[in-house]
Structure 1
Amino acid sequence: MLSRLGRSGGTSVRSFTKDVRFGVEARSLLLQGVNILANAVAATLGPKGRNVLIEQLLISPRITKDGITVAHNVQLKDRRQDMGVQLLREASNNTNNNVGDGTTTATILARGIACQGMHALRQAEINVQLLREGILEGSRAVCEALGEMSVPVDTIGQVEAVAKVALNGDERLAELIGDTILELGESGVILLKESQSPVDEVKIQEGITLPLGYCSPFFASKSEGKTLELGNCLLLLTLAKIEQAEQILPALQLAKVREQPLLIIAQDFSSDLVKILVLNHLQGRVQVCAVKAPKFGEDQRQEMQDLALAMGAHLLEDATWLAELSEGDLGEVVLAVVDAKETHLLQPIKVNEAQVEGRIQHIRELIDEAVTDEELDRLKTRLGRMQGHMATIYVGGTSDLEISERKDRFNDALHAVKVAISDGVVPGGGTAFLRCIPALDKLPPARVMEHQVGREIVRDALRLPCYTIARNAGVDPDEVLRRVLAGNGNFGYDAAAGEYGDLLVRGIVDPTNVMQSAITDAAGVASLLATTEVLITEQPIKRKIPKNQITQDLAKLVGM
């Protein structure tokens, strides 16, 4: 408690105390937040899951079935309940960061484990640390059982099956992803962008494509369709700003002697130089074209270094390097196609494969460490260029809301497919978790009572994904659970068709690593939630809003 003396001589008191809750009361408040978040996220699970509509300040609402998007938008006014939301969100964030999918499943499992753990603490005197150890031990056993039942992904049909589940049963979109991966291969780079039309389309780019075209349309004035094609073309790559023709005279002379066209990609060109190059080009002295390097600053340097390695050229850092240019500094491609917006470089002739592969590996390591979506997109674009081929899926829709929702699903599907290809798949629909229950029953007898209670908590939570999918499909979830548990192997419930059968045959599968990550992250976060004894939060502060009408209206607009 602090106090200060006001100017008038009176004393005004400002409180900095915090709200402290203990035991059952603390866990009850956390659980209220956990249930609100889990109920919102669980509504999206399965092929018949519901949409969630999210308000966005000053712009149109967002509609989505993406669990992580829903989780990020749940924020409660009561800070004690919001602490539960934040902790549960941590489970979905961990799963999303690790494998990019399975966030809804992780949230449902975490809620189940947390609820059962809190219930156990109310029933008896329990060592909370030993209980947490039992929960984590049970989750490890489940992960091992999932690994044993995993089957590899060998065909495009299996890839499409994984994508179809992530896309909530949309077969056409799953086929589109399957066709794209068939074209690019397992390591192909796929980017997602919003389309300006209602139709989804895929554009495959072979070779290297730069998002900038020629500096002047006069370079293509003699070509049909305003596209310039340079066959057997030499490449000059530099980070210098070229002001005068003398700076690139060695390269122009070399191109003239070899009777080959020259494509110059530089940081910038003076207007006078562009006029000289266009005149040379039109008069037939040297067939030449000038293109500005993409990006700015350090991003530009990295992308130009990528380009130099991929094209077998040397990146000339400044004008001094240009003056000392030799034949070995130039790259060479079978064909360069340049238009007003893009530059395509096809089939480089001299490339150091070892250096290119090293660069590709370096970019992949950067991708694994990327934090933001913008950074990830930029690195994936660089990777696609280095590999010489990439695909862009343009996601269409009749409105911004629809495009946003479909893009979320596409993104989940691409992550799921990537993980499935690398680690295999297990039966979907929550069936894989149900088949892990016998693995928990076969564990050696627990040394202490708390370990056994922890195993039972995990055992009960494994029923929840199948139960939630069935409930969202509008059928009796208890009956579905009973019938699936009575079966064995891949037998499970197809919620989209409302039928039972072999889920692998029906193409209802989940990536193994996604399921392992979901149970691991859920157990880690939920066991901390369940064993919380003290909850400390800030006291709510009532904002003081000036009384004039304009500020009151603004305050209402932003929810104050």
Structure 2
Amino acid sequence: MMLNRLSWCCGTGLRSFAKDVRFGVEARSLLLQGVNTMTNAVAATLGPKGRNVLIEQLLISPRITKDGSTVANSVQLRDRRQDMGVQLLRQATNNTNNLVGDGTTTATILARGIACQGMHAIRQGQINVQLLREGILQGSDVVCEALGKMSQSVETIGQVEAVAKVALNGDERLAEMIGDTIMELGECGVVLVKESSGPLDEVRFSQGATLPSGYCSPMFANKSRRSKVEFGNCLLLLTLAKIDQLEQILPVLELAKLKEKPLLIIAKDFSSDLIKILALNHLHGRVQVCIVKAPSFGEEQRLEMQDLALAMGAHLLEGASCLRELKEEDLGEVGSVVVTAKETHLMQPVGVNEDQLQSRIDYLRELVGEALTEEEQDRLNIRLGRLQGYLATIYLGGNSELEATERKDRFNDAMHSVRVAISDGVVPGGGTAFLRCIQALDELPPAEVMEYQVGREIVKDALRLPCYTIAKNAGVDPNEVLQKVLAGTGSFGYDAAKGEYGDLMECGIVDPTNVMRAAISDAAGIASLLATTEALITKQPIKPKIAKNQVTQDLAKLVGM
């Protein structure tokens, strides 16, 4: 139905403004078409035998992935009405991913199931849609409670590796790497994941604080063979000022000479004349000194230097005036310093204020949880690693760039799953945990309100879908698998990787409890909104005008216009 169309003619010009408005069954049907398209793409990745999805990227090579979140964020439909269904579903999956770092595919499958059943119930006859929504949400609350009772704590590295292996679709090598990293760093350790330049995987652990800046001149090196600077019991000066003249740092040089200790200066910048003077001073053996430019630029540089000051027990001197009034307590002291042409390593700081340091660490952890992009998250994790004094960098290789990117996606998901599992426990995997929650819904007393009972039944039917999808992706009869698993009890389920039935907890096939709870909760919330939608309003698509010259026409074709 076309409404709100306004047309008027003035002289020779004609203007029209229009929006497309659809109601009832037609509106919900259009939304559901978009939901089905997105869910079919995402569901293909579920389980140990899930399929790959190839995603086009403008001007660069396509991306291949089995990461449900990446697939969900890549789906965009030309029909705006169908795309609204995609956007609403993506909202639920992104919420799950942001909250617990995994569970995107499961949440998508559950949301589609609940939305389909809800729309079907509304079509059958007179029903109060708001009460139906409340019934669906009540059913999801019961499932969350049942999952909590079913949960078992993670206490061994073997269990950590089991969680990682499931999230990695059965990759034992990467699962062992995650287990070793957690054992080395602890559950709160900072892990950075990067793509390797070769086919091999590698883990590098670094203690203390590492800066991506080296010495300003190789003349400062006191280990000539290795071209590096090594200091022990070193004084540390941190400033955001640009140091142009020797007089600005003369007090701190005299203090270092008096205490007979080496000195490391990290500043915003240094003049070329000052670099030469300090290098000659170092060569003549008057004062052991090395100078390093502060990392980053602008506000990010200020924040990183503030972090470093807290981690090293020093005061950050903001400007040149602070240098003139420098006191001994403004300096930090570091047990070991290693400076190369590209990096600076600071270890064993002395006199750190632990309360202030912990407060800063907690603040950065909150920022990491709120980060919107992978780049922002990596930047915050690097800062967090410096503050904590321990960091692991994992380089993932592959036979091609596509393979390395795909493995990185899976590894990030697995790390999130492991952290959630350690904090909240695990439940049987393979969709079995959801199947066991059906009994909790069956044991509820009959609802006095008919819509509440219908809502419970809708949730109960949706709980079968994760196990069904995993079996379907594995190439076996999903109905037969469902029947056998439902006939069992406890953690008895289907191992899709081996094609066998057994105790999934003993086999190490588990899912983090909080991931499953977030998936069903977010799916119920967004799906009940989809099912109870009555009107759909979209803008009419406007075909852009493209110039007639060949260059612009070719560019338009390239971007799909």
TM range (shorter): over 0.9
Q: Distance in 2 between matches of 1:550 and 1:291?
A: 49
Task: Write the distance in 2 (CA, Å) between the matches of 1:471 and 1:315.
Answer: 59
Report how far residue 258 of structure 1 moved. Answer: 1.1
- Structure-2 residue corresponding to 1:408: 409
Q: Is the 8 A contact 2:212 2:342 kept in 1?
A: yes
Deviation at 1:366, TM superposition (A): 2.1
Aligned match for 1:3, one of 1, 8, 11: 8
* Matching of residue 251 in structure 1 with residue 256 in structure 2: no
Residues in 1 aligned to 2:232 and 2:101: alpha-carbon distance in whole angstroms: 42
Within 5 A, what are the aligned runs for 1:91-490? 91-220=92-221, 222-490=223-491
Question: SS state of the match for residue 17, structure 2?
Answer: coil
Deviation at 1:375, TM superposition (A): 2.1
1:411-468 deviation line (CA, Å, top 9, x unaligned): 1001111111111100000000000001111123212100000000000000000000
CA distance in 2, matches of 1:327, 1:275: 26
Contact 2:361 2:388 in 1 (8 A): yes
Please, what TM-score do these two structures have when normalized by structure 1? Answer: 0.98
For the 8 Å contact 2:35–2:86, the answer to whether it is kept is: yes
**Normalising to structure 2: TM-score of the pair?**
0.98
The DSSP-based 3-state class of the residue aligned with 2:264 is: strand
> CA offsets per residue over residues 181-208 of structure 1, 9 Å max, x none?
1000111000111111111111101011
In structure 2, C-alpha distance between the alignment counterparts of 1:550 and 1:381, rounded to whole Å: 44
Aligned to 2:91: 90
Cα distance, 1:313–1:482 mapped onto 2, change above 3 Å: same
Structure 2 distance, partners of 1:400, 1:319, is 47
Equivalent residues of 2:263, 2:288 under 8 A apart: yes
The range that moved more, 14-23 or 231-240, is 14-23
What are the Cα deviations for residues 369-391 of structure 1, in whole angstroms up to 9, with x where unaligned? 32232222111111111111010
Using the aligned pairs only, state the percent identity.
Answer: 77
1:320 partner letter: S
Q: Distance in 1 between matches of 2:149 and 2:224?
A: 61
The CA deviation string for residues 99-155 of structure 1, in whole angstroms up to 9 with x for no partner, is 110000000000000000011111111000000000000000000000000011111
> Which residue is 1:59 aligned to?
60
CA distance in structure 1 between the partners assigned to 2:507 and 2:472 by the alignment:
21
* Equivalent AA in structure 1 for residue 174 of structure 2: L
CA shift at 1:544, angstroms? 2.6
Q: Are the aligned partners of 2:119 and 2:531 in contact in 1 as well (CA < 8 Å)?
A: yes
Give, in angstroms, the shift of residue 223 of structure 1.
2.4
Q: In structure 2, what residue type is equivalent to 1:476?
A: D
Task: Name the structure 1 match of 2:3.
Answer: none
Corresponding residue SS for 1:108: helix
1:543 and 2:548 aligned: no
Is 2:499 the counterpart of 1:494? no
Shift of residue 2, structure 1, vs aligned partner: 3.9
Distance in 2, Cα, partners of 1:14 & 1:410:
53
| Residue 513 (structure 2) aligns with | 512
Quote the Cα distance in structure 1 between the aligned partners of 2:447 and 2:347. Answer: 64
Structure-2 separation of matches of 1:113 and 1:385: 45
**SS in structure 2 at match of 1:21:** strand
SS at match of 1:435: helix
Between the aligned partners of 1:548 and 1:61, the Cα distance in structure 2 is 29
CA deviation vs aligned residue, 1:455-488 (integer Å, no higher than 9, x gap): 0000000000000000000001001001100000
Q: Distance in 2 between matches of 1:538 and 1:89?
A: 20
Per-residue displacement from partner, 1:150-169 (whole Å, max 9, x unpaired)? 01111111111111111000
Counterpart-to-counterpart distance in 1, 2:7 and 2:269: 61
Match of 2:76 in 1: 75
Does the aligned pair in 1 maintain the 2:222–2:230 contact within 8 Å? no
The one-letter amino acid of 1:291's match is V
Aligned partners of 2:70 and 2:190: how far apart in 1? 24
| Residue 264 of structure 1, CA deviation | 0.4
Q: CA deviation at 1:368?
A: 2.6
Return the alpha-carbon distance in structure 2 between the equivalents of residues 258 and 56 of structure 1: 59
Contact 2:314 2:330 in 1 (8 A): yes
Deviation at 1:4, TM superposition (A): 5.2
The farther-off stretch of 41-50 and 529-538 is: 529-538
Could you tell which deviates more after superposition, 380-389 or 544-553?
Answer: 544-553
1:19 paired residue number:
20
Residue identity matched to 2:170: G
CA deviation map 1:21-65 (0-9, x unaligned): 111111111111111110000000000000000111111000001
Q: Distance in 2 between matches of 1:222 and 1:489?
A: 63
Cα shift at 1:221: 6.1
Helix, strand or coil at the partner of 2:56: strand
| Residue pair 2:468, 2:482 contacting (<8 A) in 1 also | yes
Residue 495 (structure 1) shift: 0.4
Q: What amino acid sits opposite 1:239 in the alignment?
A: L
Does the aligned pair in 1 maintain the 2:223–2:230 contact within 8 Å? no
Q: Return 5+ residue gaps in structure 2 as ranges.
A: 1-5
Q: Measure, in 1, the Cα distance between the counterparts of 2:40 and 2:471.
A: 15
The one-letter amino acid paired with 1:558 is: V
* Code of the aligned partner of 1:435: R
- State the distance in 2 between where 1:337 and 1:440 align: 62
| Count of aligned positions | 556
Instruction: Report Cα offsets for 1:270-305 as digits up to 9, x if no partner.
Output: 111010110011110001000011111111111111
Secondary structure, counterpart of 2:444 in structure 1: coil
Indicate the SS of the match to 1:80.
helix
Q: Secondary structure at the match of 1:15?
A: strand
Structure-1 separation of matches of 2:537 and 2:361: 48
By how many angstroms is 1:222 displaced? 4.8
2: CA distance, partners of 1:536 / 1:108: 26
